[in-house]
Structure 1
Amino acid sequence: MKLGLRLPQRLGVDLQHDLVEAARTAEAAGYASLWTYERLLFPEAPVEPYAPPDVPWPETSRQAADPLAVLTAAAVATERVRLGSAVLIAALHTPIQLAKALATIDQISGGRIVAGMSTGWATDELQATGATRADRGRFLDETLDVFDAVWGPDPVTFRGPRVVIDNASVLPKPVSKIPVMLGGGGSNLGRGTSSKAVQRIAQRADGWLPLLSIPGPAGAAELRASWDRIRGMASEYGRDTSRMEMVVVGNVTFTDRPAGPDRSAFVGTLDQIMDDIHTAAEAGADELIVDLNLQDWFTSTRQMLDTAVEIRERAGAS
């Protein structure tokens, strides 16, 4: 299993210097990929909590630098690593502009972009761009349709609910087909065969970006069962599932003492975090994204990178 690292976008990051340092350090340490996330704004009184039932939005997300700009900086600073979004919220973007931006960054990077997409969940962010929660699924579907159209040959003709392209060239094109991965909640996503989100992943995505929520063998079994369900549905659609990837997201929170048996995955001491990395591998993950952006202990990017390098070294030695 490969390891990826989320780039620093949080409050307190020196964007002029830290992004380049983080990208170069991670690539030199052997990380296979670098990832960004999207947080449009920070509501003082959010409509929904960050996580149920009443988890507050993390203060570090007051600043979440633009993910496409961050990927562009990383593209220039690196040579080999994949560069992905985990995730972009479709309803926050105009589809053709997003497709064009991703293709441009793909050209800058020499063909290393991965487009991780999702419907999103935060009403405060959706309403800031004129969308509603009811729009989320159809906006994502239309965005995927636009990707297929404008990343294909010119001239492009496309007609959708919001987007009309009439016999036009749309350039630049990606170096090659950009992989599109879809996120969607936790490791129980694959249980409902009627779920629209599951069908969308199985029918349209090049991979899945789940969260690992339960540590240990139970978490590995649940995640593997969900992934098997998705790939089984994809096979029914006639797709080649050997080309699909599962890239697990690990949102790390360190604790001073070992967390108890009821802990969530990626919460605990460094030893417990390493156990969770092994759990993701046992579940069949192709890659794991290590996210240290939410960690309050990291008062500097250098401190974050020292921990990231240690995690990479320990994972390589195990």
Structure 2
Amino acid sequence: MRIGAALPQFGPLAEPRLIAGFAAEAERMGYDALWTGDRALTPLQPSDIYPGCTPEQPWPVEQARAVDPIVALTAAATATTRVRLGTSTLDAPWHTPLLLGRSLTSLDLLSQGRLDAGLGVGWMRTEYEAMGVPWAQRGARLEEILDVLRAMWTSDPVEHEGTFWRIPPSRMDLRPFQQPGPQILLAGFAAVALDRIARRGDGWLPVTVVGSGPELEFLEGPWQAIKQGAEAAGRDPGVLRRELRVNIVPGLPVEAAVPVLQSARELGYDGAFLDLSYNADSVDHALEIAADILARYHKG
């Protein structure tokens, strides 16, 4: 199982000039992957409350400071040679597929084929309002974005006629390093999201919060639904990936993540990565925690 770490992107860790150094050191330690998330807005009166938060504090305070995920991965790509680079997740419906595809293709080329494109639809309606994107259309937009990305990466000339976007027959000579393109991993727990993963995704991006849940046993039900859906759609469920985000409740001993990583390995996860945004007060501190957890994981 690949062990990864979230790049220093949120809260006190969100210092763009330190991202490259963090990435290089994480790779030197033996980490296999580096990941980013997506947060564009932390409204004072949001439409929705972040899971595990309260009306008094509706989202993690660390998310009020957030580095752009593509910029963070670009910095990491230039400082590393081996680790995979992923998004868990980009809120795809905020983007136009043509520009999103250009960014992902450029990043895959820059990294020499190390990109995993993790996409989702987010959770906060207020962000969609600020983006000028209808919340009710988020699933349909993601479906069409997947159509456009595949066309950009595999068709010549590229052409698309959809509900939300139209691309006239065009030459697009910028093609990804990976063929037929980076793997597209999808997030979500709702039935419609699980169905989309089964039909169209290269894998699933679940999340667990050490000290709060959901526990890994809870994630097995959705995973079985994805595999059954893939088989019903004529796909081989054996090729689908699982890349687990592991958050740790603030104040909990960080070594509590180690048995979760070990359990994920035993359950057959392809990868798991630590997000230390809520546990470290500096980039150096995050590296210390990352080194300690990795050593404990391999020792156990």
- TM score, norm. by length of structure 1: 0.87
Quick check: 1:212–1:280 contact (8 Å CA) kept in 2?
no
Tell me which amino acid in the other structure corresponds to 1:275.
Answer: P
Please report how far the alpha carbon of residue 106 of structure 1 lies from its aligned counterpart in structure 2 after TM superposition.
0.3
Per-residue deviation, 1:196: 1.6
Paired residue type of 2:142: L
Aligned with 2:157 (options 138, 155, 158): 155
Aligned to 1:93: 95
**Aligned partner of residue 19 in structure 2, secondary structure:** helix
Deviation at 1:213, TM superposition (A): 5.3
- Listed as ranges, the matches of 1:291-310 within 5 Å are 291-295=275-279, 298-310=280-292
1:205 aligns with 2:201: yes
CA distance in 2, matches of 1:80, 1:90: 26
Greater alpha carbon shift after TM alignment, 49-58 vs 285-294:
49-58
Paired position in structure 2 for 1:32 = 32
Which residue does the alignment assign to 2:41?
41
Do the aligned residues in 2 keep the contact of 1:111 with 1:174 (CA within 8 Å)? yes
- In the other structure, the counterpart of 2:244 is 248
Task: State the match for 1:258 in structure 2.
Answer: none
TM-score of the superposed pair, with normalisation by structure 2: 0.92
Partner SS state of residue 247, structure 1:
strand
- Which residue identity does 1:308 align to in structure 2? A
Is the 1:4–1:32 contact (alpha carbons within 8 Å) kept by the matching residues of 2? yes
* Structure 1 residues 245 and 226: alpha-carbon distance in aligned structure 2, compared to 1, 3 A threshold: same
TM-fit CA distance, 1:253: 2.5
Paired residues of 2:19 and 2:75 also in contact (CA < 8 A): yes
Match of 1:72 among 74, 80, 83: 74
- For 1:142 and 1:153, locate their aligned partners in 2 and report how far apart those are by CA, in whole Å: 16
Gaps of 5+ in 2: none
Task: Answer yes or no: is the 8 Å Cα contact 1:5–1:289 preserved in 2.
Answer: yes
Alignment partner, residue 12 of structure 1: 12
Tell me how far 1:224 sits from its aligned partner: 2.6
Greater CA deviation, 62-71 or 220-229? 220-229
Taking the aligned partners of 1:10 and 1:178, their CA distance within structure 2 comes to 25
1:315 is aligned to 297
Q: Would you say the 8 A contact 1:155–1:167 is kept in 2?
A: yes
AA of the residue aligned to 1:3: I
Find the partner of 2:270 among 282, 286, 290. 286
- The answer for the alignment partner of 1:183 in structure 2 is 187
Provide the C-alpha distance between the structure 1 equivalents of 2:248 and 2:53, rounded to a whole number of angstroms. Answer: 20
One-letter code aligned to 1:91:
P
Once the two structures are TM-superposed, the CA of residue 310 in structure 1 deviates from its matched residue by: 1.1
Deviations 1:148-207 (Å, cap 9, x if unpaired)?
11111321111111211111012411112210000114xxx5xxxxx2211100000000
Q: Could you tell me how far apart the structure 2 residues matched to 1:14 and 1:115 are?
A: 21
Query: In 2, are the aligned partners of 1:90 and 1:143 still within 8 Å (CA)?
Result: yes
- Structure 2 counterpart of 1:277: 261
Paired residue type of 2:278: L
Query: What is the DSSP-based 3-state SS (H/G/I as helix, E as strand, rest coil) of the residue aligned with 1:151?
Result: helix
Compute the displacement of 1:88 (Å): 0.4
Counterpart position of 1:107: 109
Please state how far the C-alpha of 1:212 moved relative to its aligned partner: 2.6
Corresponding residue for residue 143 of structure 1: 145
Name the structure 2 match of 1:260.
none
CA distance in 2, matches of 1:4, 1:140: 26
Distance in 2 between residues matched to 1:53 and 1:314, nearest whole Å: 30
Q: Tell me, in whole angstroms, the C-alpha distance in 2 between the residues paired with 1:169 and 1:228.
A: 41
SS at match of 2:9: coil
Corresponding pairs, count: 295
Q: Which runs of 5+ in 1 are unaligned?
A: 190-194, 256-267
Moved more, 280-289 or 9-18: 9-18
Q: Could you say what secondary structure the match of 2:160 adopts? A: strand
Looking at structure 2, the residues matched to 214 and 62 of structure 1 have their Cα atoms a distance apart, in angstroms, of 22
- 1:110-152, CA deviations, whole angstroms, 9 ceiling, x for partnerless residues? 0111110001111121111111320110111111111111111
Q: Is the 8 A contact 2:209 2:248 kept in 1?
A: no
8 Å Cα contact 1:100-1:171 kept in structure 2: no
The Cα offsets for residues 44-81 of structure 1, whole Å up to 9 and x where unpaired, read as 22121112673621111111111011111111111011
Deviates more, 1:72-81 or 1:126-135: 126-135
